[in-house]
């Protein structure tokens, strides 16, 4: 099942032609209307006329989050302010917001892309979608909401938080689909059991999870606990929001809707594009956006592209799982460590280990130390101290072989790692560098 079969399954030649036309158009638009882009291109000695096909994209300068901050709030808009129908914003670590302006057409395309992902996950017009992403300046809630409505689903805009009410609505409204962050899905599943329900009390069949990196092991956990199929969705507000890429029934990477969002993966050091399959930083060019088109925007997400054919027939390049972000990457004693690697290693390590963990990094005597507090599953049993010690040493060795650096491991009782109702806060870095 497709939402837009023609555009989701474009053959190579047709797609390249479409991408080329759209790239030429967007480069002309930003050069004319966005002074920071004109300045960047002039500085790089590139004119719009130098861009003749999608292959020429490599000639164009990159855009970074800093460019958006420097031109806060409206300096990157390519249309008149009156054509903007909505503003979203995301908070940055430095305090200044990153603002994104959408025209009516931008909202329509974004909604259609979300609708593609919903259909790929199993939604149909009789579906009810429980949207537990936050609504507001964050794009998660409204993105899936509009996609669901465009598709004709019954949308429940419950937003994030108030878990007891979420459970009641899931049972009473019998939603077959849910979307939220993957860490909240696990939390919700655990709370469901605590509240005396089982997965059988729900009508859920599928879920779309994103806005933070997660692992295959976590997918299994969500699928088992909620009795659903769990699909990855990728997006970022700068590019539009959720629904830049979505998984299909084969769950082998998220199809990028690359008729609208053109992906590249670059080497973080040389900034040169990498061949398909190689891991690097994901870069997007918005081919059709009007309000705030971005050229070669550096997402900071670390992943690889997969161009192998997918049995579903969609031709969008697939994103491999996000390994983490180049800017939340931890450097421990010189080794790059992504929390998602730690997560995969610990869940795979032992069945008594849950997916809830917290990493604390500190510097003691000029040496980086990493401590991982790992929560036990509710049914984990221990009768003798040696069983605890054996588990700690097993998890420790599994983690150190997975991430290449040793960490101290502390097991904690079920329920004692702080839960988040939005993006999980999994790292505390106490080092002052």
Partner 1 sequence: MLVNQIAVFLENRSGRIAEFSKVLANANINIRAMSIADTEEYGILRAITDDNVAAIKTLKENGFNASSTDLIGFNVDDKPGEMFKVLDILEKAKINIGYLYSFAGTKKSNAIILIKVDDNESTAAILEKNGINLMGSDLPI
Which spans of this chain sit near partner 1 (rule: CB under 8 A)? Answer: 194, 376, 378-385, 388-389, 410-416
Q: Cβ neighbours of residue 247 under 8 Å, at least 6 residues apart?
A: 117, 120, 121, 231, 232, 233, 253, 254, 255
How many residues are given for the chain? 433
Q: What's the longest Cα–Cα distance across the chain?
A: 74
What is the closest distance, in whole angstroms, from the C-beta atom of residue 6 to partner 1 in the complex?
53
Check the CA dihedral 311-284-5-234 and report its sign.
Answer: positive
Distance CA 241, CA 28 (A): 24
- Residue nearer to partner 1 on the CB measure, 286 or 349: 349
Q: Please, is 301 exposed, middle or buried when counting C-beta atoms within 10 Å of its C-beta (0-12, 13-18, 19+)? A: buried
- Residue nearer to partner 1 on the CB measure, 269 or 383: 383
- Residue nearer to partner 1 on the CB measure, 50 or 351: 351
What is the closest distance, in whole angstroms, from the C-beta atom of residue 414 to partner 1 in the complex?
6
- Residue nearer to partner 1 on the CB measure, 278 or 389: 389
What is the closest distance, in whole angstroms, from the C-beta atom of residue 390 to partner 1 in the complex?
12
- Residue nearer to partner 1 on the CB measure, 119 or 417: 417
What spatial distance separates the first Cα and last Cα of the chain, rounded to whole Å?
51
Structure tokens at 179: 């979307």
- Residue nearer to partner 1 on the CB measure, 167 or 304: 167
What is the closest distance, in whole angstroms, from the C-beta atom of residue 385 to partner 1 in the complex?
5
DSSP 354-381: EEEEEEEEEEETTEEEEEEEEEEPTT--
What is the closest distance, in whole angstroms, from the C-beta atom of residue 408 to partner 1 in the complex?
10
Between the alpha carbon of residue 358 and those of residues 97, 375, 424, the distances in Å are 27, 9, 9
Site of tokens 């080329």: 20
Structure tokens at 60: 């164009």
Distance CA 60, CA 287 (A): 14
What is the closest distance, in whole angstroms, from the C-beta atom of residue 407 to partner 1 in the complex?
15
What is the closest distance, in whole angstroms, from the C-beta atom of residue 371 to partner 1 in the complex?
11
* 66 alpha-carbon distance from chain centroid: 20
What is the closest distance, in whole angstroms, from the C-beta atom of residue 381 to partner 1 in the complex?
4
What is the closest distance, in whole angstroms, from the C-beta atom of residue 415 to partner 1 in the complex?
4
- Residue nearer to partner 1 on the CB measure, 14 or 388: 388
Distance CA 7, CA 367 (A): 53
- Residue nearer to partner 1 on the CB measure, 25 or 350: 350
Structure tokens at 377: 């599953």
DSSP 9-22: T--HHHHHHHHHHH
- Alpha carbon dihedral 19, 145, 238, 275, in 10-degree steps, equals -50
Q: Cβ neighbours of residue 384 under 8 Å, at least 6 residues apart?
A: none
- Residue nearer to partner 1 on the CB measure, 132 or 411: 411
What is the closest distance, in whole angstroms, from the C-beta atom of residue 380 to partner 1 in the complex?
5
Query: Is 179:141 a contact under the CB 8 Å cutoff?
Result: no
Geometric angle at alpha carbon 224, from 372 and 202, rounded to 5°? 120
- Residue nearer to partner 1 on the CB measure, 104 or 194: 194
Residue 378 CB: number of other CB atoms within 10 A?
Answer: 12
């Amino acid at each position: 099942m497709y939402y837009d079969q023609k555009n989701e399954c474009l053959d190579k030649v047709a797609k390249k032609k479409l991408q080329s036309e759209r790239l030429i158009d967007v480069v002309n638009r930003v050069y004319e209307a966005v002074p920071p882009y004109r300045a960047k291109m002039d500085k790089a000695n590139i004119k719009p006329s130098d861009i003749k096909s999608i292959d020429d994209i490599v000639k164009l300068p990159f855009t970074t989050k800093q460019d958006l901050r420097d031109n806060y709030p409206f300096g990157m808009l390519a249309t008149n302010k009156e054509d903007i129908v909505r503003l979203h914003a995301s908070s940055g670590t430095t305090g200044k917001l990153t603002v994104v302006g959408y025209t009516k057409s931008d909202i329509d395309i974004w909604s259609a892309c979300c609708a593609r992902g919903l259909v790929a996950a199993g939604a149909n017009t009789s579906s009810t979608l429980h949207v537990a992403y936050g609504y507001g300046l964050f794009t998660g809630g409204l993105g899936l909401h509009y996609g669901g409505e465009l598709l004709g689903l019954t949308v429940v805009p419950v937003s994030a938080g108030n878990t007891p009410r979420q459970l009641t609505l899931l049972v009473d409204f019998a939603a077959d689909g849910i979307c939220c962050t993957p860490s909240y899905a696990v939390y919700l599943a655990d709370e469901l059991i605590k509240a005396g329900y089982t997965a059988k009390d729900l009508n859920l069949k599928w879920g779309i999870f994103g806005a933070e990196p997660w692992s295959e092991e976590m997918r299994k956990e969500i699928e088992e606990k909620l009795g659903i199929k769990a699909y990855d969705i990728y997006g970022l507000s700068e590019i539009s929001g959720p629904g830049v890429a979505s998984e299909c029934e084969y769950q082998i990477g998220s199809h990028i809707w690359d008729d609208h969002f053109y992906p590249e993966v670059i080497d973080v050091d040389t900034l040169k594009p990498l061949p398909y399959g190689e891991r690097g930083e994901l870069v997007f060019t918005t081919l059709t956006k009007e309000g705030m088109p971005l050229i070669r925007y550096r997402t900071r997400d670390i992943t690889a592209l997969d161009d192998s054919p997918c049995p579903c027939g969609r031709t969008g390049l697939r994103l491999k799982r996000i390994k983490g972000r180049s800017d939340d990457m931890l450097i421990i004693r010189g080794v790059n460590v992504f929390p998602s690697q730690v997560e995969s290693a610990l869940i795979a390590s032992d069945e008594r280990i849950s997916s809830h963990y917290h990493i604390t990094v500190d510097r003691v005597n000029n040496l980086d130390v990493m401590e991982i507090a790992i929560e036990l599953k509710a049914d984990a049993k221990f009768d003798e101290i040696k069983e605890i010690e054996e588990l700690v040493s097993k998890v420790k060795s599994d983690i150190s072989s997975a991430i290449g650096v040793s960490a101290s491991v502390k097991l904690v009782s079920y329920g004692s790692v702080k839960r988040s109702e939005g993006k999980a806060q999994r790292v505390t870095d106490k080092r002052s560098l």
